[in-house]
């Protein structure tokens, strides 16, 4: 896990990051598999998003994620870094890795460890 | 009759009468699905009955290639009858599974089994070559599918492995019987119950587990010592070697086999994180093997959706690390005998209802599942037990989640928003969403179930992976469309059949692709029983011009076994005939074009939201130029889909107002008696 990009979160923000959201605030992504196609993943927590990004074949609308981080999680600092990662990435794989690292850093700051393996395509 | 055992076993459970059908009576239908549909047509006079009625039959059919050395074609068993999973009508349907059952049935001297009636108490069927007995199964009732099989193995073959099983003074074998069984879900008539064979081969779609349960049939066991007459053994071996050398995995240069269905670099069909120590496991006769057995003993032989069912929850709950929970949850699916797709999509659905505050402890829909424990074995077991034993709200779950939603008064709303992701006939979405990969969705809604036929999905997989990673997919889309189009006999050399752009998905080109797919799979994959995992193969990266095995291989193996002189086109025409027979059955069951619609969300909710991210790519044309184009982010247009249906019905020679087969079409396929029956029922297309 890369660290040091994000400001230390407030207690309120940490609590939000570790709390599940309601139905209206859910986020959708996909896990791709060769024999089943994209499997829809409905996510209700920050940690679930991190878990998806650690899948070998995750797919996510990064703009939607950035907005979700900003408005639902209230994490403007992370949202700003995600926006930069979207801009800097040459492709969605690079964006996935950068955003995953950022979100893992935030999760770790909030007291929950993430874990990732190398994505292989 | 080369390739055939020569007779079909007929079991009437009501009076326990055993009789035989001469396979020759149905040889024109070749095997598998074709024979099953024809037998169903002849034996089930009233096709409008519920699948739960004793008058419904279940056919369990092999093919001439079953039990032979034809690669990826020896082990599939086709199951048919009126299913009880589809909604709103219980369509005549199919399912199929691998393993050892079909070969063993052939070695015992049978080309198939027809199950009729209903036993007055639980029974199992014990087949030892010619000797067939219907036996008391009260001691097996209540056991899961694995325990049931173990008990029968002991009863037939004694304890341990490798010992001789004496079938007569001159017939003995070291094999264990092949057993097909139901678990508690089937006994309790869950509409999403499966038939399970060995550890992880399931006949999943259609709810056949519950149909057996309704017939008080716990299991069928078969053990045989015979063999199968091959017309041209030398030709068969030469064909197998030809396929291996030209299309099989290049073991000295694995990278050359980076894409192939037939000769895979990584043959396993597993979605979870693989075991550290495991070995490949294959169905009889398969040249590759897509399953595994591991040193942990967990997750053995499970593939595909059951290996995905719980993995995401397991990893999320355990900090990104997969534990044994994902494997054990798959084992529970197999043991209880539950359809993995329904369990998976159903869990997504009830979790949404829980989040909405509708379902849970003290909520309108009372449910004592502890969602805090999702990801743990305890939760999976509780959830699957609810389905299997139908206790409390589990009685609704056991109906399948579309019927459950109907009971809860939510069906219309949840199909409109897509919270209930069931696009066609009450079946859960597969992943190849109708809004993106239309041939899958169209084939499903024009048929009876989620088709689960992966023939064209490779053209999604590698471009979608490559573009996501910033690479240029090879071979280019135009070349792929050309290679595939050459093989789409009798509609060959129309590359626009592979154009998945929004402008083209309602065209006659796409209608031809869907028709080709229906005909190909009905014959080559569901009647001859080539495995969906290895066939059709259009593209093979090891072959210099990328041209895969399909179009050359199917008939070559078939003719070597049977001695017939079938062309690929002959097979396609047989597929069209079987497809027409199936449509005649659905017509009698109440099918009309006016009911052939996707769920509302398919027309109103864009697939994957904005579509502004790399997810789903397929070949297509943009501004007249071929490329891999992004197909997520779109809906289907209901009006244009209506136009598509008209084009499709025209192409098939069916009445465009009703969707019913016409006499001229049926008679051209030598199906005059079918046309007569439709006419008697005032359901013949005009």
Q: How confident is the model at residue A113 (pLDDT cuts 50, 70, 90)?
A: low
- Same domain as B663, residue B629: yes
Residue B685 counted as domain residue? no
* Chain B residue nearest residue A40, CA to CA: B431
A22 interface with B at CB cutoff 8 Å = yes
Give B278-315 pLDDT, tens digit per residue: 999 999 999 999 999 999 999 999 999 999 999 999 99
Taking alpha carbons only, the member of A119, A121, A113 closest to residue A98 is A119
Give B348-374 pLDDT, tens digit per residue: 999 999 999 999 999 999 999 999 999
CA distances to A65, B60, B106, B258 from B8, rounded to whole Å, are 58, 10, 10, 42
Residue B22 counted as domain residue? yes
Query: In this complex, which of A30, A33, A44 lies closest to B271 when CB atoms are compared?
Result: A33
B464 interface with A at CB cutoff 8 Å = yes
CB contact under 8 A, A30 and B615: yes
- Same domain as B284, residue B203: no
Query: In this complex, which of A48, A64, A94 lies closest to B316 when CB atoms are compared?
Result: A48
Residue B393 counted as domain residue? yes
A98 interface with B at CB cutoff 8 Å = no
- Same domain as B403, residue B463: no
- Distance, C-alpha B667 to centroid of its chain: 30
Geometric angle at alpha carbon B172, from B171 and B178, rounded to 5°? 110
* β pairing state of A27-33 and A37-43: antiparallel
Contacts of B193 (CB under 8 A, 6+ apart): B182, B183, B185, B186, B207, B208, B209, B210, B213, B337, B338, B339, B388
Cβ–Cβ < 8 Å for B470, A94: yes
Cβ–Cβ < 8 Å for B501, B620: yes
Question: What CATH number does residue B402 fall under?
Answer: 1.10.569.10
B407: left (phi over 0), alpha (psi -120 to 50) or beta: alpha
- Same domain as B445, residue B389: no
Cβ–Cβ < 8 Å for B44, B38: no
CA distances to B45, B70, B478 from B537, rounded to whole Å, are 39, 15, 18
The β-bridge partners of B220 are B125, B180
Mean pLDDT of chain B: 96
Q: How many separate domains does chain B show? A: 3
CA distances to A12, A72, B81, B163, B328 from A105, rounded to whole Å, are 17, 18, 55, 58, 31
- Same domain as B483, residue B554: yes
Cβ–Cβ < 8 Å for B194, B338: yes
CB contact under 8 A, A114 and B469: no
* pLDDT for position A64: 96
Which of B386, B417, B448 finishes a domain? B417
Residue B294 counted as domain residue? yes
How many C-alpha atoms does B251 have within 13 Å on its Cβ side? 3
Cβ–Cβ < 8 Å for B473, B466: yes
Report chain A residues whose CB lies below 8 A from the CB of B469. 91-93, 121
Distance (Å, whole) CA A1 – CA A100? 9
Q: For residue B162, what are its two tokens?
A: 């490798």
Cβ–Cβ < 8 Å for B258, B265: yes
Which of B189, B223, B257 finishes a domain? B223
Distance (Å, whole) CA A19 – CA B535? 46
Cβ–Cβ < 8 Å for B588, B44: no
* pLDDT for position A114: 59
- Same domain as B209, residue B65: yes
A6 interface with B at CB cutoff 8 Å = no
Q: For residue B253, what are its two tokens?
A: 């240069």
Report chain A residues whose CB lies below 8 A from the CB of B359. none
- Same domain as B359, residue B493: no
Mean pLDDT of chain A: 91
Question: What CATH number does residue B564 fall under?
Answer: 1.10.599
In chain A, domain spans: 11-109
Does residue A120 carry a pLDDT above 60?
Answer: no
Give me the domain span that covers residue B342: 269-417
B614 interface with A at CB cutoff 8 Å = yes
Distance from CA of B488 to the nearest CA of A (A): 22
Percent of chain B with pLDDT over 90: 95
Mean pLDDT of B226-236: 97
* β pairing state of B165-168 and B278-281: unpaired
Q: For residue B459, what are its two tokens?
A: 């053209």
CB contact under 8 A, B352 and A115: no
Handedness of CA B517, B522, B523, B525 (dihedral sign): positive
Mean pLDDT of B302-331: 95
- Same domain as B406, residue B537: no
| ipTM of the prediction | 0.93
* pLDDT for position B187: 98
Cβ–Cβ < 8 Å for B337, B209: yes
Q: For residue A93, what are its two tokens?
A: 């794989």
Give B559-589 pLDDT, tens digit per residue: 999 999 999 999 999 999 999 999 999 999 9
* pLDDT for position A112: 77
Mean pLDDT of B119-143: 98
């Amino acid at each position: 896990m890369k660290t040091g990009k994000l400001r230390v979160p407030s207690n309120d923000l940490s609590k939000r990051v570790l709390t599940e959201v309601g139905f209206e605030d859910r986020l959708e992504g996909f896990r791709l598999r060769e024999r089943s196609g994209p499997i829809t993943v409905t996510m209700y927590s920050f940690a679930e998003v991190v878990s998806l990004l650690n899948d070998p074949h995750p797919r996510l609308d990064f703009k939607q994620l950035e907005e979700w981080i900003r408005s639902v999680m209230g994490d403007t600092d992370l949202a700003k870094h995600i926006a930069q990662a979207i801009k800097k990435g040459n492709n969605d794989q690079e964006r996935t890795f950068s955003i995953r690292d950022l979100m893992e850093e935030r999760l770790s700051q909030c007291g929950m460890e993430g874990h990732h393996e190398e994505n292989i395509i | 009759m080369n390739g055939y055992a020569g007779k079909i076993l007929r079991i009437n459970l009501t009076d326990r009468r055993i009789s035989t059908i001469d396979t020759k009576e149905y040889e024109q239908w070749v095997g598998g699905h074709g024979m099953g549909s024809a037998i169903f047509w002849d034996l089930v006079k009233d096709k409008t009955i519920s699948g739960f009625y004793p008058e419904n039959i279940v056919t369990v059919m092999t093919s001439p290639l079953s039990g032979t050395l034809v690669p990826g074609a020896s082990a599939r068993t086709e199951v048919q009858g009126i299913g009880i999973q589809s909604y709103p009508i219980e369509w005549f349907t199919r399912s199929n599974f691998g393993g050892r059952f079909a070969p063993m049935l052939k070695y015992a001297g049978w080309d198939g089994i027809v199950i009729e009636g209903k036993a007055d108490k639980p029974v199992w069927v014990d087949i030892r070559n010619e000797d067939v007995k219907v036996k008391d199964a009260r001691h097996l009732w209540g056991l899961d599918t694995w325990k049931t099989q173990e008990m029968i193995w002991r009863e037939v073959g004694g304890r341990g492995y490798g010992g001789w099983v004496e079938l007569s003074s001159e017939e003995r074998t070291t094999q264990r019987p092949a057993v097909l069984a139901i678990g508690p879900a089937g006994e309790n008539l869950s509409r999403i119950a499966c038939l399970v064979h060995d550890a992880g081969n399931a006949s999943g779609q259609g709810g056949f587990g519950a149909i057996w349960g309704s017939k008080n049939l716990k299991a069928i066991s078969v053990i045989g010592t015979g063999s199968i007459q091959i017309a041209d053994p030398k030709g068969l071996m030469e064909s197998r070697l030809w396929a291996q050398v030209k299309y099989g995995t290049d073991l000295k240069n694995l990278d050359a086999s980076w894409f192939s269905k037939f000769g895979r670099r990584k043959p396993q069909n597993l979605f979870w994180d693989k075991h550290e120590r495991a070995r490949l496991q294959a169905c009889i006769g398969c040249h590759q093997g897509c399953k595994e057995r591991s040193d942990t003993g967990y997750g053995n032989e499970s593939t595909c959706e059951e290996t995905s069912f719980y993995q995401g929850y397991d990893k999320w709950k355990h900090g990104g690390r997969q534990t044994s929970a994902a494997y054990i949850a798959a084992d529970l699916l197999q043991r209880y005998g539950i359809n993995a797709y329904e369990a998976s999509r159903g869990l997504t659905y009830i979790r949404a209802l829980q989040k909405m505050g509708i379902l849970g402890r003290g909520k309108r829909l009372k449910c004592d599942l502890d969602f805090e424990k999702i990801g743990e074995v305890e939760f999976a077991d509780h959830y699957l037990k609810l389905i299997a034993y139908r206790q409390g709200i589990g009685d609704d779950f056991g109906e399948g989640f579309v019927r459950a939603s109907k009971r809860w008064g939510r069906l219309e709303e949840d199909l409109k928003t897509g919270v209930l992701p069931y696009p066609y006939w009450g079946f859960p979405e597969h992943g190849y969403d109708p809004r993106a990969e239309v041939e899958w969705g169209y084939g499903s809604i024009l048929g009876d179930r989620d088709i689960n036929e992966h023939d064209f999905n490779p053209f999604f997989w590698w471009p979608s992976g490559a573009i996501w990673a910033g690479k240029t997919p090879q071979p280019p889309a135009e070349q792929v469309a050309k290679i595939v189009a050459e093989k789409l006999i009798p509609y060959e050399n129309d590359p626009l059949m592979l154009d998945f752009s929004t402008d083209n998905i309602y065209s006659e080109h796409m209608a031809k692709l869907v028709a080709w797919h229906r005909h190909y799979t009905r014959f080559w994959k569901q009647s001859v029983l080539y495995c969906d995992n290895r066939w059709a193969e259009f593209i093979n990266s090891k072959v210099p011009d990328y041209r895969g095995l399909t179009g050359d291989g199917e008939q070559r193996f078939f003719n070597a076994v049977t001695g017939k002189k079938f062309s690929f086109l002959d097979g396609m025409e047989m597929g069209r005939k079987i497809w027409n027979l199936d449509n005649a059955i659905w017509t009698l069951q109440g099918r009309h074009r006016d009911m052939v619609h996707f769920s509302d969300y398919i027309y109103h909710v864009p697939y994957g939201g904005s579509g502004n991210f790399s997810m789903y790519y397929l070949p297509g044309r943009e501004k007249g130029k071929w490329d891999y184009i992004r197909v997520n982010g779109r809906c289907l247009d209901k009006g244009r889909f209506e136009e598509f249906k008209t084009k499709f019905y025209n192409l098939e020679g069916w009445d465009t107002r009703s969707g019913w087969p016409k006499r001229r079409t049926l008679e051209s396929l030598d199906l005059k008696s079918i046309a007569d029956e439709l006419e008697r029922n005032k359901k013949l297309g005009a």
